[in-house]
Amino acid sequence: MSFADAVTLAPFIAAVLAAAAIILVDFALPGRKVPALATAFIGLAITALLVAVTGQSGATAFNGSYRVDALTTFLDVLFIAIAALTIAYAPDYLEERGLPVAEFSAVLVFAMSGAMLIAGSADLLVLFLGLELMVIPGYVLAGYHKTDGFSTEGAIKYFLLGSFSSAIFLFGLAFVWGLTGTTRIDGVSSVLTQIVAGKAALSPALGMGLAFLTTGVAFKIAAVPFHYWTPDAYQGSPTPVTGYLSVGPKIGAFALIIRLFASALGPLAVEWNIVIIVLAALTMTLGNLVALTQDNVKRMLAYSSIAHTGYMLVGFAAFGAGKLEGLEGLLYYGAAYAFMNLGAFGVIAAIQKRPGVTSNLSTFAGLMRREPALGILMALFLLSLTGIPPTAGFFGKFYVILAAVQAGGWVTALALLAVLNAAVAAFYYLRVVVYMFMREPDAEIPVIRHGRLVWVGLAVSTVLTLALGLFPGILLELVNTAAKAIG
Amino acid sequence: MNSISGLPLTTIVTFLPALGALVVAFSPGNKPDWARKLALGFALITWVVSLAMLGGFVATQGGTQYNEAYAWVPAFGISYHVGLDGLSMVLVVLTTTLSWISILASFLPIQTRVKEYMISFLMLEVGMTGVFVAQDLFLFYIFWELVLVPMYLIIGIWGGKNRIYATIKFVLYTLVGSLLMLVAILATAFTYAQTTGSWDGAFDVAKLIAFAGQGHLNGTFGFFAFGAFALAFAIKVPMFPFHTWLPDAHVEAPTAGSVILAGVLLKLGGYGFIRFAIPLFPEAAHTWAPVIIVLSLIGIIYGAIVALVQPDLKKLVAYSSVSHMGFVTLGIFVFQEQGLQGAILQMVNHGLITGALFLLVGIIYERTHDRTIAKMGGLGSATPVYAAAFGFFVFASVGLPGLSGFVGEFLTLVGAFKAVPAAGVVATFVMILAAGYLLWMFQRVTFGELSDFLKGLGSHLTDMKPIEAMTLVPLAALVVIFGLFPGLILNLIQGSVQAMLSAAGQVVPIALAVWR
């Protein structure tokens, strides 16, 4: 590793070191949460600073297998924000259940570093490496409450299907490598360009490789019909973990899709876009329809996260049809979704602070009376998830639909399906609002005091959810340059 | 731009209630009277501002006035552009008037969670005013959706027994329409950007209408885009067969909620047709017109017939709304000057009269906790002031000449007869039905012996209290004034009427001097 490589990789190295530092601090001062948390936040801040300094340089490392472009920078910042917010929400919840905070933070930062590796990979093998580095800590986190049967069950399902899909994905990579003779993303792309131009034949084996890759990533983003692991993993996991799982690995997997499909397989866009369109239609419709019948808010949000995957896929389909705005919309939606969904899970985690409080709808009855601040914030996040202006969720939908309308053809039909889905989704999101604002609780639930960190986390989520809705201009340029790095 | 001492009056009139909501939010929670009075105070100041704007409004000047425009999301040509034309001005004043009346009318009935109620109501006013002043489609859509949330809470928290079913139905109906409209808005903006090669002004209403005037939004695209806009507005108006949310929402909503629902929210639909759907897609508007006229007629007849058999006072008024609002869409889609004038007058009058009728129903409900017509009777002798007020507004609703309801319906019918005589004939006959269901209801409630049910209330059955009368007097005064001098409104809206008709491409200027 040359010095130049180290500079290019600096943010990633900092993230790994931060995770290691948390473990060391915990080793030196066992069981003390403040030093561990301080280390985590300082580590994340340094990582963010390095991202800002080295960002958008276009520099490559390790003979071009890792590259920092505007998209890397955008995604890195997003991943760091997701990790920081998750760490802010978690201690309250974990401590009450006797779960160690320091280990949690360390594992989470490791997962984040994996996502960052995906964001910067210019080689299929690095891509896979990043993917595994991102999801394996995820399995640990899902089963973090090891005395809780549901947590363990969810973790096992997540692990089995996750490693299964990783294997399928790797199998697909092998095909692509075997037929193109390279694992470099731009190398694959140029070979495929020649194939598409008719200079070489498109073999059935390559088609099969493509099918395996699609299946693998469809598992990772929980697209229908590859979504079956999601509800159990989400419902069983400790609530702060659920929040993280629903945004971190999801956006990480979308980074993978962008790097793989948009860059490496870009020349085959016409072929794979048909699949994306079908996946998008199925994913948002089924996710929403099943969410309608859920009485557990965590499970409901799990299905709704499937639906949101569908909306993001609409943006990707518009990109596949040749509209760069589709990719911009996808990135904007990802950021908006991350903050509003983390906010919602932050509230749920706060409500569930006392062990034994379920995430059933009935827990939310009369929340507005009991804890008005949490009630109002939850309502805001739910309205944003519904897509009511002036929130981040609205502008995200706006952007994705605008791109889909521009793309024309079947993608425009997707736009119509997306808005009809949004109306369906309003029903189950508003149901929670009904319980919070309009129902009285069955039994008196005592008011809980929440840690300061929780409020800071919620404040950040709130400000970002509103700011990305009211002043979308602050992010538009970023998503534009990030998308241009691909298109 | 005419503004008093350079103040951004449009922004002030729109967002002053939001400031009020903020102030109310910080008022002490154990003193509901503070919340009530603060909310009323802010609503009254807003009303005064809107009246000042009305005073400074130059009726002879075309286009929008009190304009304010700032770039918002320049990448897509989205701007914060607000302003008022005559129609907006009239409807803004209607909104600010009904808002403070509704807040005053909530003083007695609303006794729980007063603070939240007042905040919701003030935010509702922001949304409604915003819809009428927005001159940018993106901004318009934001206000359009903003209306939804407070109304959802008002029905859902302070409503009747079935309030949750009603409020979710209300939101879902509206949302389906408005989301499809969002797609149409985006497609329209994109068409503009693609044709002109720049996003500049792609959401600006005036620029889009000019763009539409060059025929860029015709053909298949216009047909579907108009369909999406029309669906959103038809649900809001509401037109048959999209009206089923209305009776539920009205019956479950608290009195003031019903007043605003009938008085302003339904007008958002009519306004949308006149200001957006027709000027943007004139060709498609003509293609769709027969469908809309037929649906309007069905709505007029159906609403009247269903109202005739309603056992519940509030439901009867709600169904009469369906019938009355049918006149509005009928008047708009005959593309005649009188029809459109009549439609706009009808919008204002329906707001005043039906708003008052809901207030009256609310007043009796406060005492009886029942709205069954069959249980009423003899109120004329027990509560003479109430009965007189009730009678006044019932006759106004029937369309008694000299009161405002008459002028709107008359002009609408003139327009209808000129364009589609058959529609005029049908609609005229329904006016007889309207007289039937309203007068029959009035007779059953007020005439005869005091019913046993009401006797059982004993001393609870009091006549109108001063605070209740205060909500009705201004409405009654306006009904008389607009009945005698409809020109007050007609002059204001003349520019908007001509603008829509010239955009729609069929101007038939016939002066009805009598009514000026």
Which residue in this structure is represented by tokens 């609303």? B110
Interface probe with B: pick from A331, A380, A398, A431, most Cβ of B within 10 Å: A398
Rounded CA gap, B452 and B460, in Å? 14
Amino acid code (one letter) for B486: P
- B149 in contact with chain A, both atoms CB, cutoff 8 A: yes
Torsion angles phi and psi, residue B372, rounded to 5: -70, 125
Q: And the tokens for A414?
A: 């997707």
A390/B183 Cβ within 8 A: no
Classified as helix, coil or strand, A388 is coil
pLDDT the model gives residue A150: 87
Q: And the tokens for A355?
A: 């062990």
Report the residue from A405, A426, A476 with minimal CB separation from B175.
A426
B168/A430 Cβ within 8 A: yes
Tell me the chain A residues in contact with residue B127 when contact means C-beta distances shorter than 8 Å: none
Rounded CA gap, B267 and B128, in Å? 10
**Average pLDDT rounded to a whole number, residues A23-29:** 92
Classified as helix, coil or strand, B68 is strand
B75/A438 Cβ within 8 A: no
Banded model confidence at residue A199, pLDDT cuts 50, 70, 90: low
- CB B371 within 8 Å of CB B301: no
A415 to chain B: closest CA residue: B183
pLDDT the model gives residue A140: 93
Going from the C-alpha of B61 to that of each of B49, B167, B492, the distances in angstroms are 21, 41, 10
- CB A404 within 8 Å of CB A315: yes
- CB B411 within 8 Å of CB B342: yes
Report the residue from B176, B179, B186 with minimal CB separation from A402.
B186
B157 to chain A: closest CA residue: A438
Rounded CA gap, A345 and A377, in Å? 11
B187/A473 Cβ within 8 A: no
Q: Which residues pair with B208 in a beta bridge?
A: none
Going from the C-alpha of A2 to that of each of A64, A82, A124, B181, the distances in angstroms are 13, 31, 22, 56
Tell me the chain A residues in contact with residue B116 when contact means C-beta distances shorter than 8 Å: 368
Domain spans of chain B? 289-516
pLDDT, one tens digit per residue, over A143-187 is: 998 888 888 998 999 999 999 999 999 999 998 888 888 889 988
Put simply, the chain B residues between 188 and 207 with a CB less than 8 A from any chain A CB are: 189-190
Q: Which residues contact A454 (CB under 8 A, 6 or more apart)?
A: A88, A89, A92, A346, A349, A350
A439 to chain B: closest CA residue: B157
Rounded CA gap, A482 and B324, in Å? 54
Tell me the chain B residues in contact with residue A401 when contact means C-beta distances shorter than 8 Å: 182-183, 186
pLDDT the model gives residue B508: 40
pLDDT the model gives residue A56: 66
Give the minimum alpha-carbon distance from A85 to chain B in angstroms, rounded to a whole number: 28
Q: Return the number of other C-beta atoms located less than 10 Å from residue A78's C-beta.
A: 24
pLDDT, one tens digit per residue, over A375-405 is: 999 999 999 999 988 899 999 999 999 999 9
Continuous segment of H or E residues that includes residue B504? helix B487-504
CA angle B193, B270, B219 (to 5 degrees): 40
Continuous segment of H or E residues that includes residue B333? helix B313-333
Peptide bond before residue B238 is cis, with ω within 30 degrees of 0: yes
Residues of chain B with pLDDT under 70: 1-5, 505-516
Q: What is the DSSP letter of B134?
A: B
Give the minimum alpha-carbon distance from A419 to chain B in angstroms, rounded to a whole number: 6
- CB B24 within 8 Å of CB B35: yes
Tell me the chain B residues in contact with residue A405 when contact means C-beta distances shorter than 8 Å: 183, 186-187, 190
- CB A124 within 8 Å of CB A260: yes
What residues of chain A have any CB closer than 8 angstroms to a CB in chain B?
368, 383, 387-390, 394, 398, 401-402, 405-406, 412, 415-416, 419-420, 422-423, 426-427, 430-431, 433-434, 437-438, 472-473, 476-477, 480
Rounded CA gap, A241 and A221, in Å? 16
Give the minimum alpha-carbon distance from B53 to chain A in angstroms, rounded to a whole number: 27
A426/B172 Cβ within 8 A: yes
Provide ipTM, 2 decimals.
0.88
A394/B183 Cβ within 8 A: no
Phi-psi category of residue B465: left, alpha or beta, with phi > 0 → left and psi -120 to 50 → alpha: beta
Residue B466: burial class (beta carbons within 10 Å; 0-12, 13-18, 19+): exposed
Say whether pLDDT at A422 is over 50: yes
Dihedral over Cα of B365, B367, B370, B373: its sign: negative
- CB B131 within 8 Å of CB A415: no
- B168 in contact with chain A, both atoms CB, cutoff 8 A: yes
- B142 in contact with chain A, both atoms CB, cutoff 8 A: yes
Give the minimum alpha-carbon distance from A391 to chain B in angstroms, rounded to a whole number: 10
- B175 in contact with chain A, both atoms CB, cutoff 8 A: yes
B168/A419 Cβ within 8 A: no
Q: Which residues pair with B69 in a beta bridge?
A: B81
Interface probe with A: pick from B26, B72, B145, most Cβ of A within 10 Å: B145
Continuous segment of H or E residues that includes residue B82? strand B78-84
Q: What is the DSSP letter of B369?
A: S
Pairing mode of beta strands B78-84, A60-61: unpaired
* Rounded-to-5 percentages of helix, strand, coil across chain B: 75, 5, 20
Interface probe with B: pick from A402, A414, A466, A474, most Cβ of B within 10 Å: A402
Buried b (16+ CB within 10 A) or exposed e, B201-223: bbbbbbbbbebbeeebbeeebbe
pLDDT the model gives residue A394: 93
- B147 in contact with chain A, both atoms CB, cutoff 8 A: no
Rounded CA gap, B477 and A210, in Å? 74
* Greatest Cα-to-Cα distance within chain A, rounded to the nearest angstrom: 73
Residue B55: burial class (beta carbons within 10 Å; 0-12, 13-18, 19+): exposed
Give the minimum alpha-carbon distance from B277 to chain A in angstroms, rounded to a whole number: 19
pLDDT the model gives residue A201: 65
Which residue in this structure is represented by tokens 């007063």? B114
With CA atoms as reference, report the closest residue to B76 among A401, A331, A340, A466: A401
Continuous segment of H or E residues that includes residue A467? helix A452-470
Report the residue from A419, A426, A473 with minimal CB separation from B171.
A426
Phi-psi category of residue B495: left, alpha or beta, with phi > 0 → left and psi -120 to 50 → alpha: alpha
Phi-psi category of residue B505: left, alpha or beta, with phi > 0 → left and psi -120 to 50 → alpha: left
Classified as helix, coil or strand, A353 is coil
pLDDT, one tens digit per residue, over B274-321 is: 999 999 998 888 888 889 999 999 999 999 999 989 888 899 999 999
Q: What is the DSSP letter of A288?
A: H
pLDDT, one tens digit per residue, over A97-127 is: 989 999 999 999 999 999 999 999 999 999 9
Q: And the tokens for A480?
A: 């534009």
- B164 in contact with chain A, both atoms CB, cutoff 8 A: yes
Interface probe with B: pick from A288, A399, A406, A478, most Cβ of B within 10 Å: A406
With CA atoms as reference, report the closest residue to B350 among B407, B289, B430: B407
Q: Which residues contact B105 (CB under 8 A, 6 or more apart)?
A: B255, B256, B259, B359, B362, B468, B471
With CA atoms as reference, report the closest residue to A426 among B252, B247, B149: B149
Give the minimum alpha-carbon distance from B189 to chain A in angstroms, rounded to a whole number: 9
C-alpha radius of gyration, chain A, whole number: 21
A376 to chain B: closest CA residue: B116
Rounded CA gap, A150 and A237, in Å? 7
Rounded CA gap, B360 and B387, in Å? 9
Tell me the chain B residues in contact with residue A422 when contact means C-beta distances shorter than 8 Å: 175, 179
- CB A43 within 8 Å of CB A21: yes
- B507 in contact with chain A, both atoms CB, cutoff 8 A: no
How many Cα atoms are found within 13 Å in the side-chain-facing hemisphere of B466?
0
A399 to chain B: closest CA residue: B186
Alpha carbon A310 to chain centroid, angstroms? 13
Q: Which residues pair with B65 in a beta bridge?
A: B84
A440 to chain B: closest CA residue: B157
Phi-psi category of residue B2: left, alpha or beta, with phi > 0 → left and psi -120 to 50 → alpha: beta
> pLDDT averaged over chain A?
90
- B179 in contact with chain A, both atoms CB, cutoff 8 A: yes
Continuous segment of H or E residues that includes residue B84? strand B78-84
